[in-house]
Chain A
């Protein structure tokens, strides 16, 4: 299971990457593996508000349907629309294929998230 060191993680299996002042959000390798073949993702829209801990997208796989939670609070500036046509990209590379790009409201929220090491330990349990 891959867990890139430069990302921050949540207990609900999302990751956050900071790049040029924006936050990219996606689901972890563990999450996509548990879900199995992903067949649909319901995406938010640009300028939607994300609130830390609240769902902002829904993923359906052949096995289950589950919500994606916002790891941090902010406003959506871009949505990865490629996922609409090809949701399986999340299975192929869950870290390259982010779900939304957001304008962070409060950077200090990142400190509350897990490091790669902490996340790996949690997923092992």
Chain B
């Protein structure tokens, strides 16, 4: 018996007897033989010491580079109180509570999280969170699609990684994804008008976009509304400290990744997606919503207010299969936002903005870089370079830096474009060193 498997032979026998099955093989009789008895070729189990050493050895292979790359994940600072609180066992080990009202603490932080998301986005309601920004965007697409409207327009300036997730989700449901062309680093409004038709369920746009450029969304909502199509905005929530909110642009659904709200990069996750919408669409929203009410004694109590579209009812008709949330990361974001407050969040973002604008202005002075777009940006910007982006990255990596995103990764015709991201964590010394290295190339 292994210490992580608490059931003894006797326990198992008793359970089998209770449900009237004679052996484990009988219990799994449903599974085709071809799938059984697969030799997994697993190594011998390790002792705790060995296991720890094994993982430490693996971890030591990570290269602790200083990032100047963003493209959906940004190196913002995580105040040390967050991991301390997050690792409390009451939070760390808790899975979705099946009798949710017992877990008042969990419901409370989800409620606070939702409140902060609605404050940031200006939308009426937020759900309890989604797995990440890309899947939240795909779920928003599902909300919009109807029997007779299965075409979804997506701005070509969206992060290609998000677009790929959209495509993965769209295919089995017969949703047609049509790209709205880009022109000068932003999506082309004339092309949107041209492609908008009676089959169009929604238009999805990301701002700041894959180049870091802040898209102008003036007039888009009206056009979509006239056509009875929904307006879905994917926006980095940290930029909402300064930028116009999805609600102000007239969005029907706002989504994005909350990684930028102090969640560490962690080589790719866990991150957390947000989704907020209008009161009108509340019932179409996947996931759950926590609310606050009073108990029989008149004391404040948190409850699960709405989970209309979840798996438990009308499963075969459910638009979404999310019946949980990204709870621990929602707590992460909640603590971050409460620590920062309105002022702190602005300070972090303003510093990031200033750093990014400093780096760009200095790089532009080098003969090897120029701005092909000249559009407003936040903390991420794209330059055209005469240097080889792969070499830029190789040289920077040797000096301990994670270089800019080579847009050529996504499309051959963009092979001379590189996108830098700069956060409040980058020091002037680091930026100046990068400028020096690139200037010497």
* Residues in chain A within 8 A of chain B (CB atoms): 40, 42, 45, 48, 58, 60, 64-67
* Chain A min CB distance to B350 (Å): 43
Residues in A neighbouring B228, C-beta threshold 8 A = 45
In contact, A48 and B147 (Cβ under 8 angstroms) = yes
Closest A residue to B228 using CB positions? A45
With A40-B283, A65-B308 as given contacts, are A58 and B147 in contact (CB-CB < 8 Å)? no
From B146, B148, B314, A58 is in contact (CB under 8 Å) with: B314
Residues in A neighbouring B314, C-beta threshold 8 A = 58, 65-67
In the complex, B317 has a CB within 8 A of chain A: yes
In contact, B317 and A67 (Cβ under 8 angstroms) = yes
Closest B residue to A84 using CB positions? B280
- In the complex, A96 Cα to B313 Cα: how many Å? 29
Closest A residue to B147 using CB positions? A48
Residues in B neighbouring A64, C-beta threshold 8 A = 313
In contact, A60 and B308 (Cβ under 8 angstroms) = yes
In contact, A48 and B148 (Cβ under 8 angstroms) = yes
With A58-B314, A67-B317 as given contacts, are A45 and B283 in contact (CB-CB < 8 Å)? no
Residues in A neighbouring B313, C-beta threshold 8 A = 64-65
19 contacts between A and B (CB under 8 A): A40-B283, A40-B308, A42-B283, A45-B146, A45-B148, A45-B228, A48-B147, A48-B148, A58-B314, A58-B317, A60-B283, A60-B308, A64-B313, A65-B308, A65-B313, A65-B314, A66-B314, A67-B314, A67-B317
Closest A residue to B314 using CB positions? A65
Residues in B neighbouring A66, C-beta threshold 8 A = 314
Residues in A neighbouring B283, C-beta threshold 8 A = 40, 42, 60
Q: Which of B35-59 contact A (CB under 8 A)?
A: none
Q: Encode B279-292 as 1/0 by CB contact (under 8 A) with A.
A: 00001000000000
Residues in B neighbouring A45, C-beta threshold 8 A = 146, 148, 228
Q: Which of B283-335 contact A (CB under 8 A)?
A: 283, 308, 313-314, 317
Number of A-B contacts (CB under 8 A): 19
Residues in B neighbouring A65, C-beta threshold 8 A = 308, 313-314
- In the complex, A45 Cα to B228 Cα: how many Å? 11
- In the complex, A64 Cα to B146 Cα: how many Å? 23
* Chain A min CB distance to B312 (Å): 10
Residues in B neighbouring A67, C-beta threshold 8 A = 314, 317
Other CB < 8 Å A-B pairs besides A40-B308, A45-B228, A66-B314, 16 of them? A40-B283, A42-B283, A45-B146, A45-B148, A48-B147, A48-B148, A58-B314, A58-B317, A60-B283, A60-B308, A64-B313, A65-B308, A65-B313, A65-B314, A67-B314, A67-B317
- In the complex, A58 Cα to B314 Cα: how many Å? 10
Closest A residue to B312 using CB positions? A65
Residues in A neighbouring B308, C-beta threshold 8 A = 40, 60, 65
- In the complex, A39 Cα to B283 Cα: how many Å? 10
3 closest A-B pairs (Cβ-Cβ)? A65-B313, A65-B314, A40-B283
Residues in A neighbouring B148, C-beta threshold 8 A = 45, 48
- In the complex, A124 Cα to B147 Cα: how many Å? 36
* Chain A min CB distance to B16 (Å): 35
- In the complex, A65 Cα to B147 Cα: how many Å? 19
Residues in B neighbouring A42, C-beta threshold 8 A = 283
- In the complex, A47 Cα to B313 Cα: how many Å? 28
- In the complex, A60 Cα to B148 Cα: how many Å? 22
Residues in A neighbouring B147, C-beta threshold 8 A = 48
- In the complex, A40 Cα to B306 Cα: how many Å? 12
- In the complex, A65 Cα to B228 Cα: how many Å? 26
Q: Which of B168-209 contact A (CB under 8 A)?
A: none
- In the complex, A14 Cα to B313 Cα: how many Å? 21
Q: Which of B128-144 contact A (CB under 8 A)?
A: none
- In the complex, A45 Cα to B227 Cα: how many Å? 13
Closest B residue to A44 using CB positions? B147
Q: Encode B212-236 as 1/0 by CB contact (under 8 A) with A.
A: 0000000000000000100000000
Q: Encode B138-166 as 1/0 by CB contact (under 8 A) with A.
A: 00000000111000000000000000000
Closest B residue to A55 using CB positions? B317
Q: Encode B380-400 as 1/0 by CB contact (under 8 A) with A.
A: 000000000000000000000
Residues in B neighbouring A60, C-beta threshold 8 A = 283, 308
